[in-house]
Amino acid sequence: MEVVPLSSAAEAGAVAADAIEALVRRRPDAVLGLATGSSPLPTYQELIRRHRTGAGPAYDAVRCFTLDEYVGLPAGHPETYRETIFRECTDGLGIARDRVRSPDPSPDGLSDAGPRYEAAIEAAGGVDLQVLGIGGDGHLAFNEPGSSLASATRLKTLTARTRQDNARFFGSVDQVPQHVLTQGLGTILRARHLLFVATGAAKADAVAAAVEGPVSASCPASVLQLHPHATVLLDPAAAARL
């Protein structure tokens, strides 16, 4: 694992954007794994800024897989992670929406949504670069503490803490869905490069546990330590407990 302390969230975003651009220049049909949340926002904003000024690579041939999705929101709801990733990342890079795949939360297909998503990732040749953030309790995607380190994409129940953390997007905690589909920790570990971004003091304890604590299901993000090519980008506040 390469831990890179940076001077600010904006710098972390710029360094992450450099890594994504370098991959897409090298491999225009790269498979990108995209995370939602506030952590990767500066990265996506920087990619879009460069793309708009003509400085970035072409993204037309890129394929994307998102990490996770809420279950129970109507299709097209602005807080679905599918809509969020269109709005915050892929639309701004000119990536066609049918090139962005996300776990399918429709009620009819829920029982085999996980295996279908795993098969789609495998059919695409696997994820070349996976962008990751971290939850305040150390969760990765929606793999809450206690998740199997080898888990695959599956249905999960959110903890009260994560629903509270995400209530800011919904107006009240009651409106935050209880269930989600999430890539498993095993799925994430199969990506060829993990690009992890954490910023802000609220992440400092989780980052310390993930980077320096034991590899354990009680801190799902500690699986980063098992990956042969993980890059950890931190601003000073997120790095404060290392």
Active site residues: 68, 137, 139, 144
Q: Which of residues 149-188 bind ligand GLP (CB under 6 A)?
A: 162
Q: Are strands 31-34 and 63-66 parallel, antiparallel or unpaired?
A: parallel
Smallest gap from Cβ 187 to ligand GLP, in A, equals 13
Query: Which of the stretches 11-19, 30-38, 51-59, 210-218 binds ligand GLP when contact is defined by CB under 6 A?
Result: 30-38
The interface region with ligand GLP, picked from 87-95, 132-140, 184-192, 234-242 by CB under 6 A, is: 132-140
DSSP code at position 72:
S
Rounded to whole angstroms, the Cα distance separating 14 from 46 reads 6
Task: Check residue 38 for interaction with ligand GLP (CB under 6 A).
Answer: yes
Task: Using CA atoms of 135, 138, 140, 144 in order, give the dihedral in degrees to the nearest 10.
Answer: -100
Q: Which stretch binds ligand GLP (CB under 6 A): 3-11, 20-28, 84-92, 127-135?
A: 127-135
The residue (of 47 and 134) whose beta carbon lies closer to ligand GLP is: 134
**Number of chain residues interacting with ligand GLP (CB under 6 A):** 13
What's the CA gap between 79 and 77, in Å, rounded? 6
Max Cα distance, the chain (Å): 47
CB 174 within 8 A of CB 214: no
Q: Which residues bind ligand GLP (CB under 6 A)?
A: 35-39, 67-68, 133-135, 141-142, 162
